[in-house]
Amino acid sequence: MNHAAGLTTTFLLSMLMCVPMSSWAQNVSSIALDKGCYNCHGNPPRKNTPSFDQLAETLAKYRGQTKVIADLAEKLHKEHVFGGIKAHEQLSPEQALLLVTWITEGAK
């Protein structure tokens, strides 16, 4: 991640801390709904796809780790680590960051 992206990520995450968690979580959940994330990651999840609950359990260890969360968001958005999933690639960097942060916070 370049320096400017790092500053943007830090700014975005610090702004998230100013928003009440329930309204923030509802906003991010609506992004997940709008982008169709629940089609694969809902309950029950599609095929071998992890549900949001499973992802939240796995990624909880990264809660509060800004750099790790930013790296995961960048991988979600840019890289083909998940087999080149078009829906992931269509997320903006900001949406990917919000979704990964929301997942690490429990996806509720």
Query: For the chain, which residues make up each domain, given as ranges?
Result: 3-104
> How would you label 23-50 residue by residue, b for 16+ Cβ within 10 Å and e otherwise?
ebbeebbebbeebebbebbbeebeeeee
What's 3-104's CATH class? mainly alpha
b/e 60-95 (16+ beta carbons within 10 angstroms → b):
eebeeebeebbebbbebbeeeeeeeeeebeebebeb
Residue 67 has a pLDDT of 95
When pLDDT is averaged across residues 86-106 and rounded to a whole number, the result is 91
Question: What does the block give as tokens for 3?
Answer: 């320096």
Residue 58: predicted pLDDT: 96
pTM of the model: 0.76
Condensed to tens digits (0 to 9), the pLDDT of residues 42-90 reads: 999 998 899 999 999 999 999 999 999 999 999 888 766 666 788 888 8
Nearest-10 Cα torsion for 44, 72, 107, 59: 80
**Average pLDDT taken over every residue of the chain:** 82
How many residues appear in the chain? Answer: 108
C-alpha distance across the termini of the chain, in Å: 28
What is the model's pLDDT at position 59? Answer: 95
Structure tokens belonging to residue 75: 């991988």
**Whole-number pLDDT of residue 88:** 87
The pLDDT assigned to 22 comes to 67
